[in-house]
Structure 1
């Protein structure tokens, strides 16, 4: 593992434990087992680690989506697999997502969000184009713009359950089903 990766993973742990405000760079380097000067070779401040943490989480989302995704299943099931992956990771890492949003919003790094999400956007856009090419979704769908809307909607629905509301498994199931119904209608799904 590289020193940069050690810093990022240590930052996640320390931010989760102490919160963004109470964390000091010295806490992060102590947890990473590196010298404080090494930290500054990679990041100018503790908040500048946030885009790297966000990148790690987007990579986790992509990995989980690809792990659950099965080409041989019907489109309805594939959409559900994508939604399930995002809901699962939001539940498992709710504290990390909360600190990313809190930390990245405090910095000039918010403009990096689109770059961080580019791999997920590209994957989703290709998924939608393929579904469109075989006639499974409506022809009038603009896959580029819809990609960002769909990812944002899925993440927002998961965050409402796991970050903002009092978590309740039944409510999560109902929210997920409503989201899937909405996506099926929005995509003009042809079964």
Structure 2
């Protein structure tokens, strides 16, 4: 593992353990096993690591989607698999996402979010474009706009359930079912 990656992983660990405000660069370099000067070769501040943490989070999302969504299936199955993957990833990585959102909100790096998120936007765009071409969804959908709307809808629901609330499994299942129904209805 290279030094930059060690810094990123140590920063995630320290932010999740101590919180963003309480974490010092000395904590990060100690956890990474590097000299403090090495940190500054890669990052000018602890907040400047946030875009790299966001890239890591997007990579986790994409790994989950690639392993969960079978593109050879019918549209209804694919949309369910997509929602299920995002819910699962959000539940499994909720501490990471909470740190990420808090850190981005505290830094000037929030503006980089769109570029960092482009692999997810592109994947959903291609998924929708293929579904339009197959006649599985409405022909008049603007796939670029709809990909952002769909991602926002799915992630917002998952985040509400796993980051902000403490719902029962019954409520999670009900929200999941309603989200699937709403998404399918909106796209067909």
On whether the aligned pair clears a TM of 0.5, the verdict is: yes
Map of 1:169 onto structure 2: 169
- For the residues of structure 2 that align with 1:64 and 1:30, how far apart are their CA atoms? 31
- For the residues of structure 2 that align with 1:167 and 1:23, how far apart are their CA atoms? 30
Alignment gaps of 5+ in structure 2: none
1:167 shift after superposition: 3.6
- For the residues of structure 2 that align with 1:107 and 1:87, how far apart are their CA atoms? 27
- For the residues of structure 2 that align with 1:72 and 1:125, how far apart are their CA atoms? 16
Map of 1:15 onto structure 2: 15
Aligned residue-pair number: 188
Normalised to the residue count of structure 1, the TM-score between the two structures is 0.96
Map of 2:160 onto structure 1: 160
Task: Verify: 1:54 aligned to 2:54, yes or no.
Answer: yes
Map of 2:96 onto structure 1: 96
Deviation per CA, 1:99-128, whole angstroms, max 9, x where unpaired? 111110111101000001011111110110
- Aligned to 2:57, what secondary structure does the other structure show? helix
- For the residues of structure 1 that align with 2:18 and 2:107, how far apart are their CA atoms? 19
Map of 1:179 onto structure 2: 179
Task: Verify: 1:39 aligned to 2:34, yes or no.
Answer: no
1:142 shift after superposition: 0.4
Deviation per CA, 1:120-178, whole angstroms, max 9, x where unpaired? 11111011000000100001110000011111111100000001111422211111111
Residues 70-149 of structure 1: pairs in structure 2 closer than 5 A:
70-149=70-149
Normalised to the residue count of structure 2, the TM-score between the two structures is 0.98
Deviation per CA, 1:60-102, whole angstroms, max 9, x where unpaired? 1001000011123211111111111111111111111111111
- For the residues of structure 1 that align with 2:76 and 2:111, how far apart are their CA atoms? 33
- Aligned to 1:160, what secondary structure does the other structure show? helix
Instruction: Give me the CA root mean square deviation.
Output: 0.8
Map of 1:150 onto structure 2: 150
